[in-house]
Every structure is written in C-alpha cells, then in structure tokens.
Amino acid sequence: MKVSKSSVFMLTLVAGTLTGTAHAAPDWGKVPARNVTVFYPGNSGLEWVMKGVDHSGARAVKGGETCAGCHDKEAADIGRKIVSGEKLDASPIKGKAGSIPVKVQAAHDAEHLYVRFQWKAPAGGGPKMDPANQMKLTVMMDAGKVEYAAQGGCWATCHNDMRSMDDANDEAARKHAKAGALGWSNGVTKYIKESRTTLTIKDKPRGGWDKLKSDAEIAAALKDGAFLDLMQFRTGGAPVDGYVLESRHMEGGKSLVNAEGKNENGTWTVTFKRKLAASGVGDHTIQTGNLYNVGFAIHDDHTNARYHHLSFGYTLGLDNAEADINAVKL
C-alpha cells in the first residue's frame, strides 16, 4: 500500500498541531453514500449563469430552480465539453479530466459533524500552478442567507471578474485601497452578492469586484449569517477554517477540529471533523431540523484558482431524509 509523503505529513501535522489528540472515526461502512460528479467549470461565473443569452437556464435559476435539479446527471458531459475547449474555455489544460465521480458521506454525534470524500485520482500532467499542494479540497456551506447558494452552491461566490476569470482586472485589484485586508495580492478572490452594491450581469466587464458595500454593512451581513462557511484540506499545509463574504477569508473560524487526507493506490480519501456549534468568525451552527446549502471543489494535480473541479449545490442535514447529503447519527 502506497501513501504519498505529503499525506503522511498532513496527517502528522493535523494530529500533533491542530488537535493534539487522535479522534475515533465513524464506521464509514455503515454510513450511506451520495455519489456526486464534480466537473470542470471553465469561465462560468455567476454572471454567466444569470445571463440568458449565455445560459438558457438563467430564467429557471432566477425562479428558484437549482442547477443540480436540471443538470445533476449531465455534469460529466458538461465537464467534457468545457475541458475540450468547445465552450467556456479557450485554452483548457491539456489532458485534464472533464469530471471526477466522488463518493460523499456524512455522519454526526452529539457535538460533531463528520464529512468524508473518496475518489479515484485522474491522470495529471498539467503545469504545477500550486507547487506546494498536490491536492486541495474545499467545502463551503450556507445557512440560508446567501442569494443563489441554494440554486448553485459555490457559484454564489464565483464571479467573472475574479482572478483567472475572463473579466479579471488583477492590476487594478492589487492597487485597491483595501487590497491588503482582502487578500488581493494576486487579484480578486471569491465574494458574494450581499457584499456588493451592484453586479453587472449583461455588459462587460461582468461582476462587481470594486462595488464594495460599506464596512458597517459588511459587518452587519457577517453578524446576520450572510456568508459561506469555508473549510479546506490541503496536502501542503495546515487545514483552513474561514469564510466568504466580501472576500475569501482563509482564517477566522474555530469550528474545524481536524481534516485528514491520504492517497492510497491512486484513491484519495479526505475526512473533515468539525463542531456542530459555531466557535469563531465565519462559522455556522449546524442544527437538527435545518437544511444547509453546500458545494465543494477539488483542485487536483497542483492546480489553482478556477482550474478546479466543482460540484453543483446540494443540501446537507442532520438525520433528514430530505437532504441530498444526510448526516446520520452515530
């Protein structure tokens, strides 16, 4: 059995630095699984999704239809078309997989949520955009306060004017007065509509990266829960517990207990353990009886920015048969 050195490092770091003690994992053989296809999205930011000339489903999304409701079984075909250069990307990475089938499981006890992902690593060979991280897996969760998160999951945070997207203006972003505070050294990162005064949907450049609301309005949105809780496993460093609002914040949260990942014989397994209770800035409390909008992304083969595989939006609940991903009680 072959385990990557980076994975051994990560397991050791998490056990010794983040938690200090080992935690018993659920018996995953007894936990139901949901099969989800993540796919290559190209330049399909939220503005593209909402423009009817580009995306025929724009009217349905505005009416409340979810992306998964229309395209769940088509994700592999969509990814194949985009990664081929047929649509939404004029220069995709040569040899990149259009999609990855992922097995998702979730469970909980009285205090913690456990989420597990498993998939076969696709063939790589592209440029090493992120040399330090062979793989990253990011999960984002909305508690019902972010527009479009219910319809599209992570698409609520993705815009056509972010770095590496087709309408990006990285030079202007780096010179912005708040560039340092917002982490824009390489350009604009993820943000949500609730943090902007307006979004340009039809005309170029599309998006609203520089249409920031006031600090007071953004603070009020954070207090009200209008943000996406973010947690990330990465092979080359400590796990991330942050959130997305006016920018992507890679710290602030304190609910993530640990994140473990390993590659055995070409199959990745990543498991998150987090407190059900909100413990820090940008953490949502997860309660029985509620549904949470979730999405996740995999950056495989040292990729970065938009060159990931992305899921549609799904729902997560505790002991809730109506949830797409039902976290069962241990």
What is the band of 25 on the pLDDT scale with cuts at 50, 70, 90?
Answer: confident
* Averaged pLDDT for residues 255-281: 98
Query: Residue 120 and residue 134: Cα distance in Å, rounded?
Result: 14
* Averaged pLDDT for residues 17-42: 81
pLDDT tens-digit readout, 226-266: 999 999 999 999 999 999 999 999 999 999 999 999 999 99
Is pLDDT at 1 greater than 70 in this prediction? Answer: no
Which pLDDT score, from 0 to 100, does residue 296 have? Answer: 98
Is pLDDT at 204 greater than 80 in this prediction? Answer: yes
Task: Out of 3.40.50.10320, 3.40.190.290, 3.40.50.1370, 2.60.40.1190, select the CATH number for domain 5-329.
Answer: 2.60.40.1190
| Residue type present at position 190 | K
Query: Residue 101 and residue 86: Cα distance in Å, rounded?
Result: 22
Mean pLDDT for the chain overall: 93
Pair 242, 250: CB distance under 8 Å: yes
Which pLDDT score, from 0 to 100, does residue 16 have? Answer: 41
Q: What b-and-e string marks burial along 159-189, b requiring 16 or more CB atoms within 10 Å of the CB? A: bbbbbebbbbbbeebeebeebeebebeebbb
Which pLDDT score, from 0 to 100, does residue 24 have? Answer: 67
Which pLDDT score, from 0 to 100, does residue 12 have? Answer: 43
What is the band of 213 on the pLDDT scale with cuts at 50, 70, 90?
Answer: very high
- Whether residue 205 is preceded by a cis peptide bond, meaning omega within 30 degrees of 0, is yes
For the chain, what percent of residues have pLDDT higher than 70?
A: 93
* Averaged pLDDT for residues 153-160: 97
Which pLDDT score, from 0 to 100, does residue 4 have? Answer: 54
Residues contacting 305, CB < 8 A, separation 6+: 129, 162, 163, 164
Q: Among the listed ranges 23-27, 160-164, 205-209, 304-308, which one has the minimum average pLDDT value?
A: 23-27
Q: Indicate the helix (H) or strand (E) that contains 267.
A: strand 267-275
Which pLDDT score, from 0 to 100, does residue 302 have? Answer: 97
